């Protein structure tokens, strides 16, 4: 009889008995400085840590367990990022080494290479290793499972991680990065479509960020398993992360966005309203949708073609029966103000009679399995092969395929879908699929999270080559950190529900905080059919999302703005018209994103960061510098409590002036509007309503100016709205300083750039002035003019486009005197 000790599978028994061990760095034996701002620490068991100063407030930590690093390659970090090395000094002491810059002290302990990062100005510890760097041998795939654990401080809260559908505050939760096609996801679904391994820590007003640049399947534990510990770990690759200092949360986001790539100015039409459905076909239906907008006077700038425009879902083809003359259709739509956007997926149908598939097959551009066979999977065309977009030669070939759609047919934007990558059989590619990875061959375990990013990178290049100098427009569902350089995005296959309206609000805020401000959701929900009220409230929210598009599944009913009752159609029209009035403000806010990396959507905790009461708030958000948006996200809600930060605010719609003391206040929320508040002293540029961008050749802007006791600064950016002249100073970027006192207001304007507007007149509207005078005298550039009071209580005056100073004086309304013994009246509850 066999001994029980040797029964069964001996290797399995040995593996189980030995368990899985974590390995840790030993004691530091060598400290060296191979380059300016670069420091290396070697231990007695061969672990090497490289600390690099990659800009003021940004420190890179890179570990390897065997004393040498692989090639330094990243898809995320912008190759044009040239921050310079900050001034620093090095101090060696008994237990370690400290590297000090003007803002940070980075201390590396000799025993185990544990690190501590301290704010040199406040002395506060910002980040401290718990176990620090450690690893496991990956017996199944080779390489290491790399880990990092840090102390989770009392009062520390976490935000970010890109595409997550839960509450903004991530404290006490665990997440993964593995791009997935998640149809009808919920608040608890994880992972989702996009992979942005970057989080923001906020603790008692001080902020920093961690960006873990690792494309393998990655996990983050933000105090879930152990409340006093936060950790991040990956199934392969290196422990390679960036510490990004604030001290304010928006500073962290700006530095992260500059590290992973600033974006370009978009064409103005891309910020208008867009209409999409799976699918608008044949051509008569597309033209009917266009007529529906223009006949009802509902503004719209873009119509979308989903997969049914293709011949059997073959990319870069047209169905000749449904669209017999696409070039003519696209040109005539553009004459009526509509840009055409077409979908392109990664899977190419296996068909020897399909020239694009045949060319890719002949050139060896498709992904292969580990044994050398071509990988094939099913998507909409049936069985497909998939290009390896991590191969630069494949990307160059793919970019060339867009000549027909863009240069010849006139399509103006490309929408990349299914690029997680998604396949019907197992959800995505098998792990053994091989990729070039720009000359660093690897398996799909490493390339999965960047596949969609590299696809849209190639798409963007194809648009650039074929757009004749126009600004390009590309959209992606999947992304990795840095994808903002190549595309805008939407939040995937959501549901027509009030819960998903709330999720859309959270997702767009979170993605904006992770470098992807050009973001939106499928307005109204992709799956199922919204009620009239839900659709209206979603439209009202999306007015303040940079990417503004209704998209729905064709098998769930119509979802155009006129698909509901007449009253709803009118209210939806009003909301979309508001977006077109606010386009100069949206464009100016986008300019700040392009120039500085400042997010367009700014979550309340990132602005009111010194108030811990704001750390768990997630519904309200800031759009740009001066607008505070409070979405309505419950059925039948015509009033609600909202959190108004301490300060001086006006209601955008009627100039009412609530007292803000950083607590909840009650407001009315009728169906015809959502609450929007304006910071006192703000100057908000507007345009007249247009049916599409460019309908009015040179729209005369209106500057709405809210009074203030004190000073405030506002920005206003203008350019041609398309083309590349903005890169060489072809813009006008104004900074307007406002100074207000009781009964007086003065503006001083400066600008730079050499663009000259085509309009002559600017309309000035003064809001919130406490005067009963029917008209006021105004000095504009030292010339007296008269401002006329409208029925809405606002004062208006016209001036020249090149005005530089405004002075306004009035006699304030005197509060009525109370009789002796009379008590001050109290507002009704």
Annotated active-site residue in 144, 301, 417, 712: 417
Among 427, 353, 418, 413, residue whose Cα is nearest residue 389: 418
Would you say the C-alpha torsion 792, 794, 795, 801 has a positive or negative sign?
negative
**Could you tell me the two tokens for 156?**
């520390």
Q: Please name the residues in contact with 114: beta carbons below 8 A apart, sequence gap of 6 or more.
A: 108, 129, 132
Both ends of the chain: CA-CA distance in Å? Answer: 87
- Residue 493 annotated to the active site: yes
- Residue 225 annotated to the active site: no
Is the N-terminal amide bond of 421 cis, ω within 30° of 0?
A: yes
- Residue 558 annotated to the active site: no
**Could you tell me the two tokens for 266?**
């978009």
Rounded-to-integer distance, Cα 102 and Cα 53, Å: 12
The alpha carbon of residue 723 and the mean position of all alpha carbons in its chain are separated, in whole angstroms, by: 23
| Residue 16: strand, helix, or coil | helix
| Residue 578: strand, helix, or coil | helix
User: Are 730 and 753 in contact, with CB atoms under 8 Å apart?
Assistant: yes
> Across-strand partners of 684?
704
| Residue 39: strand, helix, or coil | strand
**Could you tell me the two tokens for 384?**
């497909």
Among 586, 580, 792, 569, residue whose Cα is nearest residue 671: 569
Using a 10 angstrom Cβ sphere, with 0-12 exposed, 13-18 middle and 19 or more buried, the burial of residue 295 is: exposed
Annotated active-site residue in 238, 420, 712, 733: 420
Rounded-to-integer distance, Cα 64 and Cα 23, Å: 12
**Could you tell me the two tokens for 452?**
């969609």
**Could you tell me the two tokens for 690?**
């247009």
Token pair 């199934």: residue = 235
Annotated active-site residue in 213, 493, 625, 712: 493
The alpha carbon of residue 59 and the mean position of all alpha carbons in its chain are separated, in whole angstroms, by: 23
CA-based Rg of the chain, rounded to a whole angstrom?
Answer: 29
Residues labelled catalytic: 417, 420, 493
């Amino acid at each position: 009889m066999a001994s029980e000790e040797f029964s069964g599978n001996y290797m399995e028994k040995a593996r189980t008995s030995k368990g899985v061990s974590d390995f840790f760095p030993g004691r530091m034996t060598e400290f060296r400085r191979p380059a300016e701002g670069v420091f290396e620490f070697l231990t007695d068991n061969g672990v090497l840590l490289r600390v690099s100063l990659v800009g003021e407030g940004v420190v890179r930590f890179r570990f390897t367990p065997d004393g040498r690093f692989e090639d330094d390659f990243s898809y995320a970090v912008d190759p044009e990022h040239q921050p310079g090395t900050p001034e620093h000094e090095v101090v060696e002491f008994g237990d370690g080494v400290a590297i000090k810059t003007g803002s940070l002290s980075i201390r590396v302990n000799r025993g185990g290479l544990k690190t501590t990062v301290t704010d040199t100005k406040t002395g506060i510890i910002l980040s401290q290793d718990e176990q620090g760097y450690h690893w496991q041998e990956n017996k199944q795939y080779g390489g290491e499972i790399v880990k990092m654990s840090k102390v989770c401080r009392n009062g520390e809260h976490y935000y970010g991680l890109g595409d997550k559908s839960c509450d903004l505050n991530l404290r006490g939760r665990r997440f993964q990065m593995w791009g997935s096609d998640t149809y009808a996801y919920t608040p608890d679904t994880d992972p989702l479509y996009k992979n942005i391994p970057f989080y923001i820590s906020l603790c008692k007003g001080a902020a920093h960020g961690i960006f873990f640049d690792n494309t393998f399947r990655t996990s983050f534990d933000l105090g879930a398993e152990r409340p006093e510990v936060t950790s991040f770990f990956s199934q392969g690759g290196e422990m390679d992360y960036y510490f990004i200092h604030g001290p304010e949360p928006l500073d962290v986001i700006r530095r992260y966005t500059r590290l992973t790539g600033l974006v370009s100015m978009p064409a103005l039409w891309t910020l208008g309203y867009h209409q999409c459905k799976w699918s608008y076909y044949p051509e008569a239906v597309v033209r009917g949708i266009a007529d529906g907008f223009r006949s009802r006077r509902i503004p719209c700038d873009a119509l979308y073609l989903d997969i049914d425009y293709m011949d059997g879902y073959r990319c870069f083809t047209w169905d000749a029966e449904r669209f017999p003359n696409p070039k003519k259709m696209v040109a005539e739509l553009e004459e009526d103000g509509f840009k055409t956007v077409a979908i392109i997926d990664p899977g190419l149908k296996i068909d020897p009679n399909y020239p694009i598939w045949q060319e890719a097959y002949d050139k060896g551009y498709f992904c292969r399995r580990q044994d050398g066979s071509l990988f094939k999977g099913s998507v909409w065309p049936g069985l497909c092969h998939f290009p390896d977009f991590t191969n630069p030669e494949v990307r160059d070939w793919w970019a060339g395929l867009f000549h027909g759609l863009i240069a010849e047919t006139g399509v103006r934007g490309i929408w990349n879908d299914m690029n997680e990558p998604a396949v019907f059989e197992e959800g995505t590619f098998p792990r053994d699929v091989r990729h070039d990875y720009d000359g660093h061959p690897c398996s799909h375990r490493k390339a999965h999270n960047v596949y969609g990013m590299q696809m849209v990178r190639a798409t963007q290049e194809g648009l650039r080559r074929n757009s004749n100098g126009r600004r390009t427009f590309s959209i992606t569902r999947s992304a990795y950190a840095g994808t903002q350089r190549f595309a805008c995005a939407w939040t995937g296959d959501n549901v027509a529900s009030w819960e998903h309206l709330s999720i859309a609000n959270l997702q767009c805020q979170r993605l904006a905080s992770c470098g992807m401000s050009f973001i939106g959701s499928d307005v109204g929900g992709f799956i199922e059919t919204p009620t009239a009220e839900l659709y209206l409230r979603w439209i009202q929210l999306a007015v303040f999302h940079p990417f503004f598009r209704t998209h729905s599944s064709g098998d769930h009913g119509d979802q155009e703005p006129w698909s509901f009752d007449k009253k709803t159609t009118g209210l939806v029209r009003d909301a979309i018209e508001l977006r077109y009035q606010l386009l100069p403000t949206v464009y100016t806010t986008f300019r700040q994103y392009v120039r500085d990396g400042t997010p367009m959507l700014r979550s309340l905790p990132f602005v009111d960061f010194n108030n811990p009461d704001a750390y768990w708030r997630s519904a309200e958000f800031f759009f740009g510098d001066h607008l505070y948006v409070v979405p309505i996200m419950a059925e039948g809600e015509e009033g609600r409590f909202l959190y108004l930060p301490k300060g001086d605010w006006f209601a955008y719609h009627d100039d009412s002036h609530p007292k803000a003391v950083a607590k909840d206040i009650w407001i009315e929320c009728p169906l015809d509007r959502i609450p929007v508040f304006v910071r006192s002293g703000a100057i908000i540029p507007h345009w007249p309503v247009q049916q599409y961008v460019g309908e009015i050749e040179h729209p005369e802007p209106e500057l709405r100016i809210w009074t203030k006791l004190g000073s405030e600064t506002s920005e206003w950016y203008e350019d041609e709205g398309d083309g590349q002249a903005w890169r060489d100073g072809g813009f006008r970027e104004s900074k307007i300083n406002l100074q207000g006192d009781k009964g007086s207001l003065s503006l001083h304007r400066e600008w730079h750039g050499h663009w000259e507007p085509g309009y002559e007149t600017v309309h000035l509207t003064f809001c919130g002035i406490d005067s009963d005078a029917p008209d006021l005298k105004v000095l504009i550039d030292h010339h007296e003019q008269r401002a006329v009071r409208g029925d809405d209580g606002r004062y208006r005056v016209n001036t020249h486009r090149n005005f530089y100073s405004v002075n306004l004086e009035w006699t304030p309304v005197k509060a009525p005197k109370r009789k002796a013994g009379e008590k001050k009246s109290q507002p009704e509850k």
